[in-house]
Structure 1
């Protein structure tokens, strides 16, 4: 009898504790807002699923990026487009200019949108908001407006976006500071990308479906590792040109002194 009384007395408290624990482990279901992001218990108040397909979103991204690249390629092939030696741009230089043109679009427009509207993206159905909700399947930090992503993308949008377009102009106009701009922008991109990967590494890659061929390997890894590999190449290229320029200046100064 004593045991039964104790059980009946404790059972209501135990049931409340068990119920509360279950809700804490499943805040998405408790909030009534199912979503496709990781971790699965992530709480995203007000989330509204995309009504545009992945194919529509990716087609827009790559077609507009391709248009910027094609336009830049045509522009750098014009007769008036000449390098510092009065010669036409080589293939590598033309591709580098195309890269900065595409960066101007991605940083300024797409990442610029995130920097302005990150707080309403989960519930917003504008096309660029849906693009970010789709990309967030590879990194859910964007759909919850993680502090690092907001700060990093804001700097990228408002500094490296305009600076990328300035770099395009500097090369087309053969400005003497063109390689300085290339070095500055590439260093900024590299630093941001390294922090992007490193912060997620410290979180145990918990914001994506680890190993998924599309969301992890393509969205998270491939689409971001480009901002490590290409800036590294461009940093070395700028280093080489600036070193040559300084060597030439030093020799000229030595000849004057002699």
Structure 2
């Protein structure tokens, strides 16, 4: 008897290309917003420009891509797997790596509700704070993003990751590691950068007192 094996997944599918194109478009819009809204002095500072672009990009992703997941998950028992349209196809593609997204798992939907209606507006608020020279506002956003990332994957790790598919590098390193890792690595970098700025300010203050 001949055994037929399914061909390995390929990165350059139509759905993947559409997803990447939409992500690049959102990033380009975030860069354009930085050029338009940030004061010239802040835009010239690479760290502040990067932070604003990321906050704007983050808000746009929450308001568009992730909001589409919420739309395709309500009302119950509506799910991404039963959805129609390019956004449903996008999330079905991601569900190849994490099946919870295809079935609109209640825990995932709950996290996305907080992300869309909480973290998204907060990121926009923080970006606007930077525009108005209030840098401290983005620290609130960091907590929300790290909490969301933890609650997305901690239950899976505790239960042995039954919903995660790591059978192919595309699923493991692109869909799971890269697309989710950005929302961990960049907030952690912002924490480090914030600590560096605070320590530098404290050192300057101590040196001023010593004179």
TM-score range, shorter chain: 0.7 to 0.9
Alignment partner of 1:109 out of 53, 64, 87: 64
Give secondary structure in 1 for the equivalent of 2:162: coil
- Cα displacement string for residues 190-220 of structure 1 (whole angstroms, at most 9, x for unaligned residues): 1111222222212322223224111122101
Count of equivalent residues:
193
How has the CA–CA distance of structure 1 residues 205 and 120 changed in structure 2, closer, same or farther, with 3 Å as cutoff? closer
Sort the Cα spacing of 1:242 and 1:182 in 2 relative to 1 into closer, same or farther, 3 A: farther
Unpaired runs of 5+ residues, structure 2, are 1-12
Q: Which residue of 2 aligns with 1:128?
A: 87
- In the alignment, what sits opposite 2:96? 137
Q: CA deviation at 1:73?
A: 4.5
1:68 and 2:24 aligned = no
1:240 CA drift (Å)? 4.9
CA distance in 1, matches of 2:125, 2:92: 30
Q: State how far apart, in whole Å, the 1-side matches of 2:201 and 2:122 are.
A: 22
Q: Is the 8 A contact 2:72 2:83 kept in 1?
A: no
Question: Could you tell me the TM-score, scaled by structure 1's length?
Answer: 0.65
CA distance in structure 2 between the aligned counterparts of 1:227 and 1:59, rounded to whole angstroms: 17
For 2:120, the equivalent position in structure 1 comes to: 161
Question: Separation in 1 of the partners of 2:170 and 2:61?
Answer: 20
Structure 1 residues 61, 203: CA separation in 2 closer, same or farther (over 3 Å shift)? farther
1:229 to 185, 192, 206: 185
Corresponding residue for residue 81 of structure 1: 40
How many Å apart are 1:61 and its aligned residue? 2.8
Q: Equivalents in 2 of 1:148, 1:167: separation in Å?
A: 27
Aligned to 1:182: 138
TM-score normalized with structure 2 length: 0.78
Which has the greater radius of gyration?
A: 1
More helix by share: 2
Q: 2:14 maps to which residue?
A: 53
Secondary structure of the corresponding residue to residue 125 of structure 1: coil
Which whole-Å CA distance do the structure 1 matches of 2:34 and 2:174 have between them?
26
Label 1:245 to 1:117 Cα distance change in 2 as closer, same or farther (>3 A). Answer: farther
RMSD: 2.8
